[in-house]
Amino acid sequence: MSDAPLAVDRRRGIIALWLAILCAMVFVMVVLGGVTRLTHSGLSMVEWRPLTGWLPPMSESEWGDAFSKYQQFPEYRELNYAMNQDGFKSIFWHEYLHRLWGRLIGVAFVIPFAVFALRGWLDRLLTGRLMLAFVLGGLQGVLGWYMVKSGMTNEPDVSQYRLTAHLGAAFVIFGYLIWLALGLFRPGARRVVEPRRRAFVRFAVVVTGLVLVMALSGGFVAGLDAGFVYNTYPLMEGRLIPDYLFESTPWYINPFENIITAQFVHRLLAVIVVAAVALLWSRARRLALNAGARHAVNLLALLTVIQAALGITTLLLVVPVVLGAAHQAGAFVLFACALWLIHALSFVAAETEKETVLVEQEEAGDDTDD
């Protein structure tokens, strides 16, 4: 009987590790998607065969068939009309690897999930949560194809709205898997938020929301190719606030359809996030946080500085593929760290809770003495 809790903890640890691997795979998927976007490869595969499209063209005749299908769409007719079959192969492989990796994520989910379920390792609640993750992954595949189709009609570019929706769905899936994994990695933790820390936890949630909004604004920058203009910082056209921010009508579509406004909003949100994280870190230094939360807030501050520097460098160098993909990946790392901070603040192990209470009592005593 005494070994039963250990067996349960071991099973939870294995499931948590599996979820962490899935998180890593989603992260790689995001990087591949960024490279695909930056190399303008996303429209090279004009068919969607989620169950049968595992293999690439295997012969020259099959490559010729794939190329001829690509030639029927606007991207080839308007932009790549001088491209030969070898050039087509170079963009095809980016999109193919992106789609193949998505299928591999599905396999990496389904097979372990079936094994865990057959062994009775999953309770009803965890099964439901994992099934939700699977459904979200499937819907993301559909949304990806919906995005690609928008570039196969009149304009040889995908809709910035659909691109940002696809990016946002990736954040949801990534964040959801991280949250599930964190809960399983800390099986003894329970939700505890001391009154003195409630405002700080709420602020951490707000900062996480700001990070997400900033990242989604980057989706509109990418969808409009707005990073390839106004490649100076901090000024745009020699001004902090450029002209023509509200040139489009109605005014509220400008952040989503005006390249000047899209880039300006992304810059502004980045400044707000840096300031908010700096304030969060400053407040954290005055609180008795558990070790996990303390490490998370320090890492969040460091990553925010790195991400801001990376974004500025990417802009100044006119979006090289490597830096552009790294900047998108950095947004996911920043988001993951923010979620870790919230989880560390909200779910405290019993031993850590006792230590925190003792420290707070000592601080309260010091304040009384003063």
3-class SS of residue 55:
coil
Higher per-residue pLDDT: 96 or 362? 96
Give the span between the Cα atoms of 354 and 347, in whole angstroms: 13
Sign of CA dihedral 282, 283, 286, 288: negative
**25: pLDDT strictly greater than 60:** yes
Answer yes or no: is pLDDT of 191 > 80.
no
Burial of 274 (0-12, 13-18, 19+ CB in 10 A): middle
What's the gap between Cα 95 and its chain centre?
A: 19
Higher pLDDT, 203 or 5: 203
Give the pLDDT of residue 224: 96
Supply the pLDDT for residue 156: 84
Instruction: Identify the three-state secondary structure at position 236.
Output: strand
Mean pLDDT value of segment 6-30: 91
Q: What is the SS3 assignment for 190?
A: strand
**Which runs of consecutive H residues, i.e. helices, occur in the chain?**
4-38, 60-70, 74, 85-118, 124-149, 160-185, 198-223, 254-257, 259-284, 291-316, 321-346, 350-369
Whether residue 120 has pLDDT greater than 80: yes
pLDDT at 43: 92
Q: Could you tell me which residue, 60 or 1, shows the higher pLDDT?
A: 60
Cα–Cα dist 132/130, whole Å: 5
Whether pLDDT at 194 is above 50? yes
The model's pLDDT over 123-136, given as tens digits with 9 standing for 90+, comes to 999 999 999 999 99
Residue 185 pLDDT level (bands cut at 50, 70, 90):
confident
For residue 155, the model assigns a pLDDT of 81
Mean pLDDT, rounded, for 39-67: 90
Helices 198-223 and 160-185 sit at what angle, rounded to 10 degrees? Answer: 150
Residue 2 pLDDT level (bands cut at 50, 70, 90) = very low
What per-residue confidence (pLDDT) applies to 4?
57
Return the structure tokens found at 212: 């997400």
Region 133-148 average pLDDT: 96
Question: CA 11 → CA 103, 105, 123, 124, distances in Å?
Answer: 26, 21, 12, 15
pLDDT of residue 10: 86
Cα 158 to its chain centre, rounded Å, is 19
Q: Give 53 or 113, the one with higher predicted confidence.
A: 113
Q: Note the pLDDT tens digit of each residue in 276-296.
A: 999 999 999 998 888 999 999
More reliable by pLDDT, 8 or 253:
253
Domain borders along the chain are: 1-187, 192-370
Which letter does DSSP use for residue 348 in this model?
Answer: E
